[in-house]
Amino acid sequence: MTTTEAIDAYFFEKAASKADLIKGLLAQRGDLPAAQPYYRAFEAIGARAADEALLALRSVLAGHSADDERVKALRAAVAAGDRASYLRVLGPPFPLGDLHDALDEDADGHAEIDALHGELAKERPSSEAIVAKVERLRSLPQLRSLIANWWDDPRTQLFLQELNAAGL
């Protein structure tokens, strides 16, 4: 189980105690510089660490900052048992405005951009629907590079992997 899977399982499946989770995190700690302060804190205080520290680490491991608003959003998703919202908070920012700006006002594609954005915002997004919409948007020359950059972002790919792993 990866570090991110272990953190997610702790919050959504109650798969391990916090002490066991932290022991596992420390045993397989990665090299990401932004994560090192969290690992050092977990070494120092172990299971007394607040759940918010685990959520902050999860945010950092997803390529985001661990700012207060993001941690609060993750905490709210966990409290609601809403894994899809949790994954959306950890997912990549969608370039909605940039995509619309790249198309002429009357060009085909605006509805498809909105449909993809809507799918990403659903309570239970479908990875198959996301892939199909991305393929249609990639066929538009004006959007090809923008959508490719978003799609190829490791955070987008991680988001899709996590949707699939969560059965969403």
Indicate whether 135 belongs to any domain.
yes
Q: Which of 89, 117, 142 is the last residue of a domain?
A: 89
What is the rounded CA–CA span in Å between residue 61 and residue 73?
Answer: 16
Indicate whether 165 belongs to any domain.
no
DSSP per residue, 11-56: HHT--S-HHHHHHHHHHT----GGGHHHHHHHHHHGGGS-HHHHHH
Q: 108 to each of 44, 95, 136, 142, how far by Cα in Å?
A: 56, 17, 11, 11
Average pLDDT, whole number, for the chain?
91
Give the count of domains, the chain. 2
* Confidence (pLDDT) at 168: 57
Indicate whether 163 belongs to any domain.
no
Cα–Cα nearest to 168, from 118, 108, 110, 128? 128
Could you tell me if 34 and 65 lie in one domain?
yes
Q: What digits encode the pLDDT tens for the residues 35-45? A: 999 999 999 99
Indicate whether 136 belongs to any domain.
yes
Q: What digits encode the pLDDT tens for the residues 64-110? A: 889 999 999 999 999 999 888 898 888 877 888 899 999 988 888 99
Cα–Cα nearest to 62, from 142, 21, 4? 4
Could you tell me if 78 and 101 lie in one domain?
no
Structural domain for 54, as ranges = 3-89
